[in-house]
Amino acid sequence: TQVGEQGLSLSGGQRQRLALARAVVGQPEFLVLDDPLSALDVHTEAAVEAALRRVLADTTALIVAHRPSTVLLADRVALLSGGRITAVGTHHELLRGNAEYAHLMAGDPVADRPDRAHRTEQENQR
């Protein structure tokens, strides 16, 4: 199938799947992925996630992720806050022991950030 120059005839999800396929076809020893499931619909996300699990079993990867489903691909998670790593552990350890991480995974990114807590309280009072 012709995809056109720079893949312009492809949807965002199609471009993302193609980029992932290109990244993993060579069975790399190390892989860097930035939100690899972000442009996918829920049905495609499940299929790609299953394929990524198989690929990641034999690959060291650094995955930047915001969704819990993507975070679950990782053996270890590092929480970045204010440009620094503030916690490291498994997804479940961080859910239990880190309020900021738990809020992020619940979709509440500012709830426990010290630099935003005061402003958030003021915004809530409005």
pTM over 0.75: no
In whole angstroms, give the CA distance from residue 44 to residue 29: 25
> Amino acid letter at 15?
R
pLDDT tens per residue, range 50-67: 888 888 888 999 999 888
CATH 3.40.50.300 correct for 1-70: yes
pLDDT tens per residue, range 19-61: 888 888 888 899 999 988 888 888 888 888 888 888 888 899 9
In whole angstroms, give the CA distance from residue 76 to residue 93: 10
Domain boundaries, the chain: 1-70, 76-126
Residue in 97, 55, 85, 89 with CA at minimum distance from that of residue 71: 89
